[in-house]
């Protein structure tokens, strides 16, 4: 999603694309956006189904040899009127990218005067900048204490029209992992709705055309605070790769933070990254990737594996290609 701002790159407008790949769509499928919402509403031509795990809590869809014909994927989102025979897409678990939703919930709680920044910041910064899981536990517990978890889900899905963003079955003690009854199969994100969430977070973006006039979003000061934390990201290792510079085979990606204000997510099965990129001459765009390219796809170096590499070098290469495309657009 590229935003064109007033200045050398023209008026306030937006250009967007969403391409999905999976074992069912190996050549890729272009997501089409319906005419509602100024052409930037939910995906109109695909059914999204949820990720799954087995009784032992293991993510099964992405294991080698997994037979998707034998897996029952629960529905996640389908546009009204789309037939059951329409193409489907299995939405990978977002991994720690889910912490972006938690951060937005904390911002909503501050705006609603249910929490103070003094309570929020000690959890927010480490949760985002180094993906600290203990800080995330405390942040989720804060949302429960403030009575904001269901309010966050309603805001994301109903008020802001982002139907695939769901933070489900977290616990009052701060649980959000598989072992807490949450995690895979309960917490959902897709790339397009994540990009549109970033649009809402960006005070420099044009007004979100799918939102009715007067829709309440985050206060400008809250937007600034959240973006400032995202810009302190220390894990430039997926779409950007500065944290991995010097490793064998290093591949440059998107600009690193602070130019790329973002959040990553990585597990053995999943690799995610999403944020806002700011460049010279008014260049500004939002990008989101959710994938099953987790740490088991990291390159194997001569002699030993180096666990500093988050995933395959193909992802920063993709980031570099996206950035080159954005720079080339008028």
Length of the chain: 330
Look at residue 10 in the predicted model and tell me its pLDDT.
39
Q: How many CA atoms lie within 13 A of 218 on its CB side?
A: 26
The DSSP-derived string for 113-179 is TSS-HHHHHHHHHHHHHS--HHHHHHHHHHHHHTT-HHHHHHIIIIIS--TT-EE-S--TT---SGG
Q: Is the pLDDT of residue 140 over 80?
A: yes
The angle at the Cα of 252, spanning 251 to 258, to the nearest 5 degrees, equals 145
Q: Is the pLDDT of residue 154 over 60?
A: yes
Helix (H, G, I), strand (E, B) or coil at 13: strand
Helix (H, G, I), strand (E, B) or coil at 66: coil
**28: exposed, middle or buried (C-beta count within 10 Å: 0-12, 13-18, 19+)?**
exposed
- Model confidence at 34, in pLDDT bands (50, 70, 90)? confident
174 dihedral zone (left: phi>0; alpha: psi -120 to 50; beta): left
Give Cα 223 distance to the centre of its chain.
Answer: 17
Helix (H) or strand (E) holding 321: helix 314-328
Mean pLDDT, range 241-265, rounded to an integer:
96
Instruction: Tell me phi and psi for residue 260, to 5 degrees.
Output: -105, 100
Number of other residues whose CB lies within 10 A of the CB of residue 51? 26
pTM of this prediction exceeds 0.85: yes
Domains of the chain: 2-328 (3.40.710.10)
**pLDDT tens figures, 161-193:** 999 999 999 999 999 999 999 999 999 999 999
């Amino acid at each position: 999603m590229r935003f064109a701002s007033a200045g050398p790159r023209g008026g306030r407008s937006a250009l967007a694309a969403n391409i999905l790949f999976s074992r069912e769509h190996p050549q890729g499928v272009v997501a089409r956006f319906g005419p509602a919402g100024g052409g930037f509403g939910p995906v109109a031509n695909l059914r999204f189904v949820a990720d799954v795990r087995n009784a032992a809590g293991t993510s099964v869809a992405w294991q080698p040899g997994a037979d998707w014909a034998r897996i029952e994927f629960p529905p996640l989102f389908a546009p009204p009127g789309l037939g059951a025979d329409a193409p489907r897409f299995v939405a990978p678990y977002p991994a720690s990218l889910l912490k972006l939703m938690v951060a937005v919930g904390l911002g909503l709680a501050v705006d609603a005067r249910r929490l103070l920044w003094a309570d929020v910041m000690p959890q927010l910064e480490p949760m985002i900048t180094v993906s600290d899981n203990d800080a995330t536990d405390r942040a989720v517990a804060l949302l429960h204490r403030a009575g904001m978890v269901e309010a966050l889900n309603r805001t994301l899905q109903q008020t802001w029209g982002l139907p695939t963003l769901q933070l489900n079955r977290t616990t009052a003690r701060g649980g959000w992992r598989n072992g807490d009854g949450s995690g895979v199969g309960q917490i959902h994100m897709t790339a397009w709705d994540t990009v549109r969430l970033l649009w809402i977070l960006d005070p420099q973006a044009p007004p979100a055309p799918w939102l009715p006039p007067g829709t309440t979003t985050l206060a400008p000061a809250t937007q600034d605070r959240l973006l400032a934390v995202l810009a302190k990201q220390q894990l430039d290792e997926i779409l950007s790769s500065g944290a991995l510079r010097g490793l064998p085979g290093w591949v440059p990606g998107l600009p690193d933070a602070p130019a790329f204000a973002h959040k990553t997510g990585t597990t053995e099965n999943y690799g995610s990254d999403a944020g806002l990129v700011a460049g010279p001459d008014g260049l500004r765009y939002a990008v989101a990737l959710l994938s099953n390219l987790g740490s088991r796809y990291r390159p194997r170096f001569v002699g030993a594996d180096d666990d500093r590499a988050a995933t395959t070098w193909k992802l920063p290469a993709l980031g570099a290609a996206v950035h080159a495309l954005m720079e080339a657009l008028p």
